[in-house]
Amino acid sequence: MSGARIAVLASGRGSNFEALCTSDLGGAEVVLLATDNPGAEAVVKAERLGIEKAVFDPGTGHGVSRAGVESSIAALLEDRGIDLVCLAGFMRILRGPLLDRFGGRILNIHPSLLPSFPGLDAQARALEYGVKISGCTVHYVDAGTDTGPIVLQAAVPVLGTDTVESLSRRILREEHRIYPLSARLHCEGSILLDGRTVHLPGTEGIPGPFASL
Ligand code: GRF
């Protein structure tokens, strides 16, 4: 899928959005940022990077109801001929319209080694639990919370001196590495899905090439 068009959905800071925009995606490119938060830093980043942005603010009462946000986004993505959707800190569970129309073509990045610590505050919960290794996961999105097939994971150590902030920073560096790589692999057609197992032909014998422990 050379020349694949990617949309990023983000509600906040947008550092993964920026990493996707500025990484080598092998011919694919990010062409759109959609957000449900007009105050998102990601919007400012899109302006700076010259990427089209679309704000669907359920708070304004200007025609976008809370339930209608997802349908409106899905319609825009179809209109723009989007091939792959990357969720990057999009604070909304997908309820239907996006999954119906882009199923198997939506990725998410999560700041833990799934299936441990799905949902919110993953880094804080990992720290509190006392795990010695954490990391991040890129996965396809299904109807569950952080339950879809895993594409790539990267591990980082958890240090005795860590705070939520320091652990989050260490994990984020890995997010910025494996998210663009996952998007590229998807767009190049290098991912084979077998049930919930992702195969990356050509890399199967290589132990953990994507981990940095
Ligand atoms: C990241 O930690 C990501 O793993 C999670 O939300 C955060 C988004 O950060 N899903 P950013 O907006 O990409 O900087």
Question: Quick one: pLDDT at residue 94?
Answer: 84
What integer is the mean pLDDT of 29-45? 97
Global confidence as pTM = 0.94
Both tokens of 180, joined, read 């663009």
**Region for 120 from its dihedrals, namely left if φ exceeds 0, alpha if ψ lies in -120 to 50, beta otherwise:** beta
Cβ 180 under 6 angstroms from ligand 1: no
Helix (H, G, I), strand (E, B) or coil at 21: helix
What residue type is 77 in one-letter code? L
Cβ(35)–Cβ(55) under 8 Å?
Answer: yes
HSE-up of residue 54 (Cα within 13 Å, Cβ side): 19
Whether residue 162 is predicted with pLDDT greater than 60 in this model: the reply is yes
User: Is residue 110 annotated as a catalytic residue, yes or no?
Assistant: yes
Cβ 109 under 6 angstroms from ligand 1: yes
Q: For ligand 1, what atom is nearest to the CA of residue 168?
A: 2
Cβ count within 10 A of residue 125: 17
What integer is the mean pLDDT of 102-110? 97
Cβ 64 under 6 angstroms from ligand 1: no
What integer is the mean pLDDT of 20-42? 97
Q: How far is the CA of 88 from the centre of ligand 1 (A)?
A: 5
% of the chain exceeding 70 in pLDDT: 90
HSE-up of residue 206 (Cα within 13 Å, Cβ side): 9
Q: Which residue has the higher pLDDT, 139 or 212?
A: 139
